Amino acid sequence: MTASLLPRERRELAPGAVHLPDWLTLDEQRELVASCRAWARPPAPMRATRLPNGGVMSVRTVCLGWHWEPYRYTRWATAPAEEGGARERVKPFPPELVALARRAVADAYGDAGAAAAYEPDCALVNHYDATAKMGLHLDKEEVSPAPVVSLSLGDACRFRFGNTETRGKPYVDAELRSGDVVVFGGPSRFAYHGVPRIFPGTGDPAIGLSEGRLNLTIRETGLTDEVVDAEEAARAARVAGRSGRSARRTTGEQA
């Protein structure tokens, strides 16, 4: 792909949402693509996420540190039933992404303190083929209000950034290209966003990605194993209570 003739400028898409074009060098992009390839392997490989309504996302995702499933974080990915349904431990969050994300926060906000205080513990790595999309949504399973750092690799996309109130207008569109970073903090952290379109064939194969788009979102969840384990235990107890009651009802037993 031919590099843009016009340098693209740093831009604040909305308060706290800072787009830094061409932030990663080609070597850094190559290294990240190779890492993504390793992270995508089993166990807990890159997969299309199944939604509670039976739908399947068009994007394929692998998680690091914490596994996101609709709509919570756990330490475990679950294989689809057709593949045996096994529980697979999520891969650890790599320390090199802590350093990279802190550097992005420092550059976006010019705030060394905010960068040093940033403690990311989770990344979602999404792969888009030519037709994949992500509808407008909020990321609100994280408890921490710390920024999200987004890194783009491969094909360019149209990124849509909305508002915190509604899924509709107003929104702004931006084109994200390979090597771009966007930091979403402050009032932008809990705003609607999505990817309505990929521009196939726009990536540079020199980074080791022949087709599609990879996006890493680095996050600080604010979660602990203690809190998540307690929530999972409470959830399991509710489920057991429900099936107990319905089993008694269907067999005519007294509660």
Task: Considering only the stretches 25-33, 139-147, 167-175, 198-206, report the one whose residues sit in contact with Fe ion under the rule CB under 5 A.
Answer: 139-147
Task: Considering only the stretches 23-31, 47-55, 165-173, 191-199, report the one whose residues sit in contact with ligand MD3 under the rule CB under 6 A.
Answer: 191-199
Helix (H/G/I), strand (E/B), else coil: 187: helix
Helix (H/G/I), strand (E/B), else coil: 47: strand
**Omega before 147 within 30 of 0, i.e. cis:** no
Which amino acid is it at 216?
A: L
Q: At residue 140, what are phi and psi to the nearest 5 degrees?
A: -130, 15
Asked if 18 and 114 touch (Cβ cutoff 8 Å), the reply is no
Helix (H/G/I), strand (E/B), else coil: 20: strand
Q: Please list every residue from 131 through 150 that binds ligand MD3, using CB under 6 A.
A: 134, 139, 148, 150
| C-beta closer to ligand MD3: residue 73 or 184 | 184
**Pick from 108, 118, 97, 98: nearest CA to 180:** 108
Here the tokens at position 10 are 């740093």
Q: How far is the CB of 86 from ligand MD3 (least distance, A)?
A: 24
Which amino acid is it at 149?
A: V
Q: Please list every residue from 215 through 244 that binds ligand MD3, using CB under 6 A.
A: 215, 217
Binding partner of residue 134 among Fe ion, ligand MD3, none, CB under 5 to 8 Å per kind? ligand MD3
Paired strand residues for 64: 91, 123
The residue nearest Fe ion at its CB is 139
Helix (H/G/I), strand (E/B), else coil: 73: strand
| C-beta closer to Fe ion: residue 190 or 199 | 190
| C-beta closer to ligand MD3: residue 175 or 232 | 175
Task: Considering only the stretches 55-63, 101-109, 138-146, 224-232, report the one whose residues sit in contact with Fe ion under the rule CB under 5 A.
Answer: 138-146
Binding site for Fe ion (CB under 5 A): 139
Which residues would be at the binding site for ligand MD3 (CB under 6 A)? Answer: 124, 126, 134, 139, 148, 150, 182, 184, 188-189, 191, 193, 195, 215, 217
